[in-house]
Amino acid sequence: MTPTDVPGLLHALAEAGDRAAARRAARDVLQEACVASGTSIEATAPEAVRELLRLLERHDTPWVTDVLGVLDATAFYLGEWEKQQQMSSQPGMYDAEVGWETAVAELLAPGLDIVRPSLTVRDPEARSMAAALVGDASVEWTADLDLLLAAEAAESHALARACQAEAAVTLALRAPAARLPGRVEPWLRDPEAVVRFRVARTARTAPAAEDAQLALLADGVYDADRGAMETVWPAEV
């Protein structure tokens, strides 16, 4: 995969004639331009992220949710790869990827200015994917946590609310300065299974020593509501 391939992949996404074609194109961008190896960000990822953010800026982009989905998946894997590097017993093994990942992170953080307006658009899938991206990529922890909590409190769509709550938990886990006092347990006991499951699958990754009782509750909810794993937006598949 070379950088010259990226424009063609992005053009296919921007010009897709229907949602099925947009989903195929989005998966191609993610797998080929951003995460082809499955274990490290590709050299093409910064260019892809830059162009995806430009697509979001265009008012005529029809597949906003799919663009957001690719960006969020890239941000999520970025965090996973950072963990791999930290645990590596071979210093220097990931030096090349570190450069690419730094470039992606430096694009995503300011790029969220383009994303945040989607937290309040009419499409619940777009609201969901924007929330997930903010949770995975924000460095403005306190301000963005407030935005996510406000979005969740105002949300009427169950799956969108689940995504917003999970994004808030994700951000709180990423950011030492961000806290969710008294919010996680009510979500784990929410009437909607998809809300319970999504919050549980993220909350259970928190260090158990911080709140052993909450960790046990999250583990129990995750197991009990595992069926809600199948409730996803098209942009997540």
136 occurs within a structural domain: no
For residues 186 and 100, state if they share a domain. no
For residues 1 and 106, state if they share a domain. yes
Residue 20: exposure state from Cβ atoms within 10 A (0-12, 13-18, ≥19): exposed
Question: Which range, of 65-79, 126-140, 151-165, 190-204, averages the lowest pLDDT?
Answer: 65-79
For residues 101 and 10, state if they share a domain. yes
Q: Determine contact, residues 177/142, Cβ cutoff 8 Å.
A: yes
For residues 51 and 86, state if they share a domain. yes
3-state secondary structure of 225: coil
- How far apart, in whole angstroms, are the C-alpha atoms of residue 139 and residue 118? 18
Q: pLDDT value at position 3?
A: 47
Cα–chain-centroid distance for residue 189? 23
Q: Determine contact, residues 164/151, Cβ cutoff 8 Å.
A: yes
Assign 3-class secondary structure to 31-71: HHHHCCCCCCCCCCHHHHHHHHHHHHHCCCCCCHHHHHHHH
Q: Which domain holds residue 227?
A: 141-237
pLDDT-based confidence at residue 116 (cuts at 50, 70, 90): very high
Question: What is the average pLDDT score of the chain?
Answer: 88
Question: Which range, of 8-22, 149-163, 201-215, averages the lowest pLDDT?
Answer: 201-215
129 occurs within a structural domain: no
For residues 84 and 1, state if they share a domain. yes
Q: Determine contact, residues 40/94, Cβ cutoff 8 Å.
A: yes
- How far apart, in whole angstroms, are the C-alpha atoms of residue 229 and residue 209? 26
pLDDT in tens, 203-217: 998 876 568 888 899
Calculate helix-pair angle for 64-87, 95-115, nearest 10 degrees. 140
For residues 155 and 110, state if they share a domain. no
Q: pLDDT value at position 112?
A: 97
The percentage of residues in the chain with a pLDDT greater than 70, rounded to a whole number, is 88
190 occurs within a structural domain: yes
130 occurs within a structural domain: no
Question: Which range, of 109-123, 206-220, 223-237, averages the lowest pLDDT?
Answer: 206-220
Residue that is written with structure tokens 């909607």 in the block: 192
For residues 112 and 173, state if they share a domain. no
Q: Does position 125 have pLDDT exceeding 60, yes or no? A: yes
**Count: domains in the chain:** 2
For residues 85 and 189, state if they share a domain. no
- How far apart, in whole angstroms, are the C-alpha atoms of residue 35 and residue 45? 8
For residues 114 and 163, state if they share a domain. no
For residues 111 and 208, state if they share a domain. no
Q: pLDDT value at position 84?
A: 67
131 occurs within a structural domain: no
134 occurs within a structural domain: no
- How far apart, in whole angstroms, are the C-alpha atoms of residue 226 and residue 102? 35
- Model confidence, pTM: 0.91
- How far apart, in whole angstroms, are the C-alpha atoms of residue 175 and residue 194? 24
pLDDT in tens, 140-151: 999 999 999 999
pLDDT-based confidence at residue 12 (cuts at 50, 70, 90): very high
